[in-house]
Chain A
């Protein structure tokens, strides 16, 4: 029997007091994350997504060899938190910027981090063509079905009937078009090596998402082409919900439309 305040680590039971002891630490902040307090709203998935990318960079010892490209959107300040060299791209242009970097520094690891407005609306052309060229980069795509930073307008990924400040009565497919399944779309491109859709709403999903990022860095090392990791996420603030409610929405609405799992896996 375990007490409510006990914590399970593997099969070992620690009482909560012990967790505070250095020798019992099971998680340390990776060197590749700065000490800067993140500006994200409570419960937002961006922070977790940042952390797992940086954990991978840290664990694979790639800090010296990784260059990140930040988007325009809530994660515009990703470079404040990621302790690596980074470039900030114009809205939607991240994969073009990454192409420029990777072409002149082919031995470095290059990734972009982009929201759905950035990648699936204004930057669709850059996204499709970079992937079609098989640029040897990783694209991390945070799909929260809304424009977060500009306070909740409709995104290409907003679900049918879902409200936003620019679809206040719900997204009407007849006039506003269909939600865009970018990952499925790009998976048919020969340049796409690995395409997967993950989430960060539960610890198990966080681990799977991290694994996908890890694989992508490994593929990049082998020069395999573009890796695309979509992360279905939340935006409690603009969905006007609590963190818990927003994760419920992810499970009940978003994931059914954007099912998790690998969409394209490399033939070994």
Chain B
């Protein structure tokens, strides 16, 4: 048994970063994620064996470019922010994805668009999973729904980043970042060990110089880079899909939801089961690569699917693509930082699937 602590999601994320051998954290304050930098600033001086360098950058633009530099130098680098800050990081992320630098970032998603609200939301799904910056690229996107997963996804995220030389995003929301729960840290952390012979650490006589760039003027060369990235995304889709199912074995109805919305939806499934409605839940843990296969498998044999999100309906497009028109897919969502209650989701479910009322 490792260390058991009661912590906020953001603190668990920061603690996990220390324990996962993160070498550098560069960030900029924004609610509801500022506890990450605050926790690191408070804790690191007391951790004799933690070598992590931290810095409060002058902006998110600077922070993500510091990450680019440190990741390019072969180190484990991490940043965190929330929606408006993540928008500013999109430039850097596009460069990082193109240069294939491994790094970790977390978006503690708040309500938008614009300056929006500091309340939890899932409105950044498109931005996170479909690229976000310019060009054809993807981040690996992990969606924790508990404080425990906020911690677990840090090590997983760093390992995936190193393994695939790709930026990884932890996409959670203000509620998961701010809620306090029990979290267990393993006694022994074993990180994936990978060589980084491409890193810019100073050129020894024995090798050619290393260059980290995303510039390829020749279109054929640029296309070759794009093809390589697309190949990588295919491998990710094959090997790294993660999800959780809840009561799907005998399900006649299915709810698909991630993060906080999934935790609320689990309660909805329980309420439905109490009414003898055989409902089940699929919770994507990786939003990219998206768990299309399992959604297709379970979803094709149910009477209806309800996609629940804290946005206007973004993941629903991926659910519909997965199901290939075989099953009716309906949506329930709240926006702008409003958290849906299990009861209102239940009511909506009942109305459209059980009472046959049209919306």
Contacts and interface: CB of A to CB of B under 8 A. Distances in A.
Interface of A: 63-67, 69-70, 76-77, 79, 82-90, 93, 96-105, 108, 125-126, 129, 133
Contact of B62 (A65, A77, A93): A93
A103 B25 CA distance: 10
A104 B202 contact: no
A139 to B, nearest CB: 14
Contacts of B209: 79, 82-86
| SS of B interface (majority) | mixed
Contact of B24 (A77, A83, A104, A133): A104
Interface string B284-323: 0000000000000000000000000000000000000000
A99 B213 CA distance: 17
B65 interface: yes
B162 to A, nearest CB: 15
A93 B58 contact: no
* Residue of A64, A85, A103, A125 contacting most chain B CB atoms (<10 Å): A85
B204 A100 contact: no
Contact of B203 (A85, A102, A125, A129): A85
A125 B211 contact: no
A88 B53 CA distance: 22
Contacts of B70: 100-101, 103-104
9 contacts: A83-B203, A85-B200, A93-B65, A96-B57, A97-B65, A98-B69, A103-B70, A104-B73, A126-B61
Given A86-B211, A88-B213, A100-B26, A126 B58 contact: yes
Contact of A88 (B67, B71, B211): B211
Contacts of A129: 57-58, 62
Contact of B58 (A82, A86, A100, A125): A125
Interface string B38-76: 000000000000000101011101110111111111010
A99 B55 CA distance: 10
B249 to A, nearest CB: 49
Interface in B217-243: none
Interface string B74-101: 0101000000000000011001000100
Nearest to B199: A85
A84 B203 contact: yes
A79 B211 contact: yes
Contacts of B92: 90, 93
A69 B200 CA distance: 10
B210 interface: yes
B69 A101 contact: yes
| Shortest Cβ-Cβ A-B pairs, 8 listed | A100-B69, A100-B66, A96-B65, A88-B213, A85-B200, A129-B58, A97-B69, A100-B70
A85 B95 contact: no
Given A88-B214, A93-B62, A126-B65, A100 B77 contact: yes
Contact of B69 (A63, A83, A87): A87
B4 interface: no
A86 B200 contact: yes
B23 interface: yes
A171 B204 CA distance: 48
B212 interface: yes
Contacts of A105: 73, 201-202
Contacts of A79: 209, 211, 213
Contact of B201 (A63, A67, A88, A97): A67
B194 interface: no
A149 B18 CA distance: 43
A100 B202 contact: no
Contacts of B205: 63-64
B215 interface: yes
A119 to B, nearest CB: 14
A105 B69 CA distance: 10
A134 to B, nearest CB: 12
A84 B210 CA distance: 7
A86 B91 CA distance: 20
Nearest to B96: A90
A79 B68 CA distance: 17
Contacts of A85: 200-203, 209-211
